[in-house]
Amino acid sequence: MNHTDLLLCNYDHKLLEMLTGKLLGDGNIIIQKNRKPRFRFGHSIKDRDWCVHCYQKLACFLPLNPPKYRRVIDSRIKRGFSELYYVQSKTAPIYVHLKEIWYNNTVKVIPKEFVEKLMTPLSLAWWYQDDGHLKMKGNIPQKIILSTESFSQEEILFLHNLLLNKFHLNFSTDNNKRLVLYNRRSILAFLSLVRPYLSKGMKRKDIYLENLKKEDLPLKKRTTVYLLERIVFNKPTAEIRKICNSLPEVLSIIEPKLHHFLNMVEKKRDLPRKPYQIELKREELFHLTIFQQKTGYTMGEIIELCYEYLNGRLQ
């Protein structure tokens, strides 16, 4: 049995998912001559809470020493030093197996079979919190960056394809060899995927929508929605308003699985559509606006999803 199989058979998969995220990010295996390997990770002082969070989660499974403070002299920094907290493990057989698949001599490499099996929302969230960045412009997300510059081009392509195949997230690669997500809908889908696993100390890596006040919306509003030609309404306002009653329920289904629905919605974007002039009341406008903020979908796409749901075709 090889090292990958030994890990998958003998250790808790939640532990392996967290370690996968950590080793794609800031974690490493300490390799020293004539000494058994150990696991280590460190974070800047501003991310102390994240360091403690990782320690607490991993210590349920692994022999780890508590986080320690360290001050590092660094002439490149204006004040002459940096501050960090780090966690270092004791020795254990699991670190031997991890060293064998994650390292070629002393160089970290991506064990493709292992990462492919262990790439889940949890491992993605840990990787993102270690080596990810969310760039905002006001309240609008501009891009998500995953730092992959230390990996080879082949490994970056593997990670790109893995994220596309598993989560329908189509990252680009920038000139700095980083994976970047620009599409707003994809960014919202990514965040919905990792949000359940974000620690309190990583709020800067999520979007917090301002509370929408119903009374700030007009009592009623005339608008135009564009719907697929196969969906036909004889009394558009009345029928669409009735469909809008399902908005909260449909959002509760869609939001946790935005990555799942992303591909389905995108495939329909260029299909022929027919315009309908309708009048919506404040209640419908309120729920439609919330839906739009959380998904990035157009009003027409949202109404189509509700239509599919009411006809038993939304899964």
Q: How confident is the model at residue 74 (pLDDT cuts 50, 70, 90)?
A: confident
* Residue 112 in domain: no
Based on the fold, state whether residues 224 and 166 are members of the same structural domain.
no
pLDDT score of 237: 96
Model confidence band, residue 35 (pLDDT cutoffs 50, 70, 90): very high
18 is written with which tokens? 């967290």
Query: Which phi and psi (to 5°) does residue 6 adopt?
Result: -65, -40
pLDDT at 38 over 90: yes
Residue 6 belongs to domain with CATH number: 3.10.28.10
DSSP assignment string, the chain: --HHHHHHHHS-HHHHHHHHHHHHTT-EEE--TTS--EEEEEEEGGGHHHHHHHHHHHTTTS-BPPPEEEEEE-TTSTTSEEEEEEEEB---HHHHHHHHHHEETTEE---HHHHHHH-SHHHHHHHHHHHEEEEEETTEEEEEEE--TTS-HHHHHHHHHHHHHHH----EE-TTS-EEE--HHHHHHHHHHHGGG--GGGGGGS--PPPPPGGGS-SEEEEEEEEETT---SSHHHHHHHHGGGHHHHHHHHGGGHHHHHHHHHHTTTS-EEEEEEEEEHHHHHHHHHHHHHH---HHHHHHHHHHHHTT---
Domain boundary among 206, 231, 255: 206
Expressed as residue numbers, the domain containing 42 is: 1-103
| 154 domain-assigned | yes
Give the total number of structural domains in the chain. 3
- Does residue 209 register a pLDDT over 80? no
pTM above 0.85, yes or no: yes
Based on the fold, state whether residues 1 and 93 are members of the same structural domain.
Answer: yes
Among 103, 244, 259, 263, smallest CA distance to 194 is for: 259
pLDDT one-digit tens code per residue, 118-165: 999 999 999 999 999 999 988 889 999 999 999 999 999 999 999 999
In-domain check, residue 111: no
pLDDT single digits (tens) 210-248: 778 899 999 999 999 999 999 999 999 999 999 999 999
Report CA dihedral (101, 102, 104, 105) to the nearest 10 degrees.
-100
Q: Choose the final residue of a domain: 103, 138, 166.
A: 103
> Which of 44, 71, 103 is the endpoint of a domain?
103
Do residues 199 and 235 share a domain?
A: no
Confidence of residue 313 (pLDDT cuts 50, 70, 90): confident
pLDDT of res. 211: 76
Find the mean pLDDT for residues 48-59.
Answer: 97
CA–CA separation, 308 and 111 (whole Å): 41
Q: Are residues 26 and 67 in the same domain?
A: yes
Q: Give CA–CA dist 238/278, Å, rounded.
A: 9
Residues 84 and 18 in one domain: yes
Same domain for 202 and 174, yes or no, is yes
pLDDT tier, 82 (very low <50, low <70, confident <90, very high otherwise):
confident
Closest CA to 244 of 261, 223, 260: 223
d(CA 266, CA 279): 27
157 and 84 within one domain: no
Does residue 233 lie in a domain region?
yes
